[in-house]
Chain A
Amino acid sequence: MENEVKTIPFYNRLPFILAMILLCLLMVGHLVLSLKAPVKKLREIRVQYGFVQDIKNPVNERILTDSAFLALMKEKAYYQSRVAMAATDSIYMTINLGDSTLNLEISGVVVHTAEIKKIKLSHILKRDEYPVLNMLSTPFVITADYSTIKKEPVMIKMAPKDTSEYQPDIIPDTADYEPVNFILLMENGVKIHIYQGEKLRAGDNLNRFLFDLRDRLRITTSTLFSTIRFRVPEYYPYIRIRLARADSKRIYRALPYRGQAGLYR
Chain B
Amino acid sequence: MSGLNENDQRTDLFNLTGAVKYLSKLKDQIATLPGKLKENEKFILFLKKTFLWFSVTAAIFFIFVFFIWLVPLLQEIPSGGKINITNSAAVKEDASYRRIIAVMERDLRNLSRKYNSYTSGQSYLVINTTDNRFQLYRNKQMIREGFCSSGSYKMLQTHEGKSWIFKTPKGKFTIKDKRVNPVWTRPDWAFVEEGLPIPSRNHPSRYEYGVLGDYALGLGDGYLIHGTIYKRFIGMPVTHGCVRLGDEDLEVIFKTLSVGSKVYIF
Q: B100-108, B241-249, B250-258: which lies at the A interface?
A: B100-108
Q: Which of B75, B112, B153 contacts A235 (CB 8 A)?
A: B75
Q: B11-19, B175-183, B187-195, B218-226: which lies at the A interface?
A: B187-195
Given A63-B97, A250-B128, A72 and B108 contact (CB-CB distance below 8 Å): yes
B72 partner residues in chain A, CB cutoff 8 A: 34, 216, 219
B128 partner residues in chain A, CB cutoff 8 A: 111-112, 250
Looking at the assembled complex, report how far the CB atom of A156 sits from the nearest CB atom of chain B, in whole angstroms: 5
A66 partner residues in chain B, CB cutoff 8 A: 85-88, 91-92, 97
- Flag whether B45 is at the interface (Cβ < 8 A): yes
Interface residues of A in 151-182 (CB under 8 A from B): 152-166, 169, 171-172, 174
- Flag whether A139 is at the interface (Cβ < 8 A): no
- Flag whether A190 is at the interface (Cβ < 8 A): no
Looking at the assembled complex, report how far the CB atom of A182 sits from the nearest CB atom of chain B, in whole angstroms: 14
Given A35-B79, A80-B111, A163-B195, A109 and B104 contact (CB-CB distance below 8 Å): no
Interface centre among B49, B94, B192, B195 (most CB of A within 10 A): B195
On whether the beta carbons of A31 and B91 are closer than 8 Å, the reply is no
Interface residues of B in 153-178 (CB under 8 A from A): 153-159, 165, 167, 170-172
- Flag whether A25 is at the interface (Cβ < 8 A): no
User: Complex: how many Å from CA A65 to CA B92?
Assistant: 12
Q: B1-9, B207-215, B232-240: which lies at the A interface?
A: B232-240
User: Complex: how many Å from CA A252 to CA B72?
Assistant: 26
How many of B's residues come within 8 Å of A, CB to CB? Answer: 81
Interface centre among B66, B67, B87, B167 (most CB of A within 10 A): B67
On whether the beta carbons of B101 and A68 are closer than 8 Å, the reply is yes
- Flag whether B61 is at the interface (Cβ < 8 A): no
On whether the beta carbons of A123 and B83 are closer than 8 Å, the reply is no
Given A76-B107, A171-B233, A86 and B96 contact (CB-CB distance below 8 Å): no
Q: Which of A65, A68, A108, A157 contacts B84 (CB 8 A)?
A: A65
- Flag whether A27 is at the interface (Cβ < 8 A): yes
On whether the beta carbons of A107 and B118 are closer than 8 Å, the reply is yes
A82 partner residues in chain B, CB cutoff 8 A: 115
User: Complex: how many Å from CA A254 to CA B34?
Assistant: 78
Looking at the assembled complex, report how far the CB atom of B51 sits from the nearest CB atom of chain A, in whole angstroms: 11
Interface residues of A in 70-129 (CB under 8 A from B): 70, 72-73, 75-76, 79-80, 82-83, 86, 89-91, 104, 106-112, 122-124, 127-129
Q: Which of B131, B158, B262 contacts A159 (CB 8 A)?
A: B158
B172 partner residues in chain A, CB cutoff 8 A: 89, 106-107
Looking at the assembled complex, report how far the CB atom of A212 sits from the nearest CB atom of chain B, in whole angstroms: 10
Interface centre among B68, B71, B117 (most CB of A within 10 A): B71
Given A65-B84, A76-B108, A256 and B38 contact (CB-CB distance below 8 Å): no
On whether the beta carbons of B171 and A155 are closer than 8 Å, the reply is no
On whether the beta carbons of B118 and A109 are closer than 8 Å, the reply is yes
- Flag whether B204 is at the interface (Cβ < 8 A): no
Looking at the assembled complex, report how far the CB atom of A61 sits from the nearest CB atom of chain B, in whole angstroms: 10
Q: A37-45, A140-148, A196-204: which lies at the B interface?
A: A37-45
- Flag whether A30 is at the interface (Cβ < 8 A): yes
B92 partner residues in chain A, CB cutoff 8 A: 66, 68
- Flag whether B74 is at the interface (Cβ < 8 A): yes
Residue of A with least CB distance to B124? A109
Given A23-B63, A106-B172, A34 and B74 contact (CB-CB distance below 8 Å): yes
Interface residues of B in 54-92 (CB under 8 A from A): 63, 66-69, 71-72, 74-80, 83-88, 91-92
On whether the beta carbons of A79 and B108 are closer than 8 Å, the reply is yes
A235 partner residues in chain B, CB cutoff 8 A: 75
- Flag whether B203 is at the interface (Cβ < 8 A): no
On whether the beta carbons of B99 and A57 are closer than 8 Å, the reply is yes
On whether the beta carbons of B194 and A163 are closer than 8 Å, the reply is yes
| 19 A-B contact pairs sorted by A residue (CB < 8 Å) | A5-B38, A5-B42, A10-B49, A35-B74, A43-B80, A63-B96, A66-B92, A67-B85, A76-B111, A79-B115, A104-B266, A109-B264, A127-B80, A160-B195, A166-B194, A174-B236, A174-B237, A235-B75, A253-B130
User: What 6 A-B pairs are tightest by C-beta distance, nearest first?
Assistant: A108-B118, A160-B195, A79-B111, A254-B266, A42-B80, A89-B172
A binding-site residues for B, Cβ under 8 Å:
3, 5, 7, 10, 23, 27, 30-31, 34-35, 37-39, 42-43, 57-60, 62-63, 65-70, 72-73, 75-76, 79-80, 82-83, 86, 89-91, 104, 106-112, 122-124, 127-129, 152-166, 169, 171-172, 174, 213, 216-217, 219-220, 223-224, 235, 246, 249-250, 253-254, 256
Q: A67-B85, A152-B167, A160-B193 are in contact. List 8 more A-B contacts (CB 8 A).
A: A5-B45, A27-B63, A34-B74, A42-B79, A69-B101, A108-B116, A109-B124, A253-B129
